[in-house]
Amino acid sequence: MATYSDIQDWLRTGIREGRWRAGDRLPSEAELCLQFSVSRMTVNRALRELQHAGLVRREQGRGSFVAPLERVAARLELRDLHQDAAERGHHHEAEVLVLRAEAASADCAHALGLRRGQRVFFCQLLHREQGVPLQLESRWVLPSAAPAFLEQDFGRQTPTAYLLQVAPLTAAQYQIEAVAASPEEARCLGLEAGEPCLLVQRLSHGAAGPVSWARLLHRRYVLQGSFTA
């Protein structure tokens, strides 16, 4: 007997091979029930999960349609490096390189909605997993969002974990690109100068507005996430 996964695989293959294109109507639930000899509940689950994955758009009374690609948006999970390493059974450590208040640069001011030169909190940490450099984190924080930021021991708790506690995040914007490591960045990450790295820039928002802008430089990284229409 067919399962909901069999129905999903058949529909995914049809979409991938162009049998149905963006905006096309997919076979109805009744047609799928007849074709696969399954219950409506099984078909509904298959379509519901394809909708959650961003491949299908369902309209009440009209049926299911292939979702337009331009309406699919990435949703990346915000992960704490310490928690991530622990789940793999690995040891995480963070070396605090800089922790201070400073004047916002033009880029920082633009990201956080401040005036250039306005006071911000800044930290730079080198994260290691199993003793191997993993990420160079540079983060600028709005003082009003986390007044006690400079008093924290980020060798024991990551800035991400701390900010999630004191200024719960409601949204984040990402920019991801491959860049060449500068000589100083390469030294920290144990690379050759100019060696490619993955740069993730993240602007995090809380209920009251921007909270922090982070520049996360990785020597290796795996992006995990889901997509939804």
CA atoms within 13 A on the CB side of 147: 1
Q: How high is the pLDDT of residue 76? A: 47
**What is the CATH number that goes with domain 4-70?**
1.10.10.10
| pTM, 2 dp | 0.63
Amino acid at position 56, single letter: V
Q: How far apart are CA 83 and CA 91, in angstroms?
A: 10
Percent of the chain topping pLDDT 70:
86
Confidence of residue 172 (pLDDT cuts 50, 70, 90): confident
pLDDT of residue 169: 80
**How is the chain split into domains, by residue range?**
4-70, 74-228
Q: What is the pLDDT of residues 64-110, one digit of tens each?
A: 998 865 433 344 455 667 666 676 677 889 999 999 999 999 999 98
Lookup result for tokens 């914007």: 173
CA distance 46 to 49: 5
Query: DSSP characters for 10-79?
Result: HHHHHHHTTSS-TTPBPPPHHHHHHHHT--HHHHHHHHHHHHHTTSEEEETTTEEEEPPGGG-EEEEPP-
Q: Is the pLDDT of residue 121 over 70?
A: yes
Query: Which pLDDT belongs to residue 79?
Result: 60
> What was the pLDDT predicted at 50?
85
Which of 112, 81, 99, 77 lies closest to 203 in space, CA to CA? 112
**Is 74-228 CATH 3.40.1410.10?**
yes
The mean per-residue pLDDT over the stretch 8-13 comes to 89
Residue 121: closest CA among 86, 163, 79: 163
pLDDT of the residue at 131: 87
Q: Tell me what pLDDT residue 224 has.
A: 52
